[in-house]
Amino acid sequence: MVLSSQRKAGYDSFASKPYTGKSIHRWGAYMKQIKQLVIGLVLAAAAVGVQASAKFSITGASNAKPSTFEQGAFGIAGLDLASLGMSLSDLKLGGTLSVKGGRDDVSYQFLGSEASYNNFFVRGANVFKNATSQVGSSFTNLNVTGALDFAFLSQGNAAQKAVNGGINAGRIGTILSGDKRSVLITFNDFAADKDFDDMAILASFVPAPVPEPVSYVMLMAGMLTMGFIARRRMGANIR
Ligand SMILES: [Ca+2]
Ligand SMILES: [Ca+2]
């Protein structure tokens, strides 16, 4: 109860409110924070959804193989196209390999080579060398969308290069997986033969870590607990 005489004396009417009123005030601020957290979680989930929708796309490529294309000569030790969900008959030559429908992290993995030349696969500062790189080694290019920016060098020679969507792109072959979430990139180097097994790279999207539903529950429980502790501390300071 606040007496009119107290108000006249400059009594702090806000601080003199009963504790329950103060509590509701704090609780409202707390709920506002929770709402912001929930909105953040929804936005994060939406972002994961965008990532999962990214696909590889090949445009401007040709199904026509060179007259001397040696289909039967595609022979990289240990490389089994069927186990990747791919078929050599789907090999396309040239064109531009892109990420469409979203952004995602692209992993490049060196799968092997059948070549006497020393060939390089170059993407930014990352290089695979068919003579020395370990089969199975990989690197990841983060947050990719649009045309992939890789190139091959034949004999490690920058003057004999094949660029995705650019010069000598016809020396680059691609085989998409059925779900378009991975693609085999193969190279026909500047040697006289027309096989496309002179280097093979698997590009695939890195699966986004999707938290188990129980993780979300634990996360929310943790936030609620922290919020409760913070609220109690604020209450203690008031008293
Ligand atoms: Ca070749
Ligand atoms: Ca070869």
pLDDT at 88: 86
What pLDDT is stored for residue 108 in this prediction?
98
Q: How far apart are the first and last CA of the chain?
A: 18
In Å, what is the CA distance from 79 to each residue of 75, 199, 235? 8, 11, 66
**21-53 pLDDT tens trace:** 555 567 777 778 767 876 666 666 555 554 568
How many angstroms is it from 152 CA to the middle of ligand 1?
Answer: 13
pTM of the model: 0.68
In degrees and rounded to multiples of 5, residue 205 shows phi and psi of: -80, 140
**Domains detected in the chain:** 55-205 (2.60.120)
Ligand 1 mean position, distance from CA 5 (Å): 98
List all residues 6 or more positions away from 45 whose beta carbon is below 8 Å from its beta carbon: none
Distance 197 CA to ligand 2 centre (A): 5
Q: How far is the CA of 204 from the centre of ligand 2 (A)?
A: 23
List the shell of residues around ion ligand 2, using CB closer than 5 Å: 114-115, 195, 197-198
Rounded to the nearest angstrom, the distance between the alpha carbon of 113 and the centre of ligand 2 is 7
Q: Whose atoms come closest to the Cα of 77: which ligand?
A: 2
Q: How far is the CA of 25 from the centre of ligand 2 (A)?
A: 74
Task: Among the bound ligands, name the one nearest to the CA of residue 130.
Answer: 2
Sign of CA dihedral 178, 184, 187, 188: negative
At residue 9, does pLDDT exceed 50? no
Angle formed at CA 213 by CA 203 and CA 52, multiple of 5 degrees: 25
Number of the ligand closest to the Cα of 189: 1
**Residue of 214 and 73 predicted with greater confidence:** 214
User: What residue spans of the chain are helical by DSSP H?
Assistant: 4-8, 19-52, 213-238
Average the pLDDT over each of 26-40, 117-131, 180-194, 200-214 and give the range with the smallest value.
Answer: 26-40
pLDDT of residue 3: 47
Give whole-number Cα distances, 110 to 97, 118, 128, in Å: 17, 14, 7
CA 116 / ligand 1 centre spacing (Å): 9
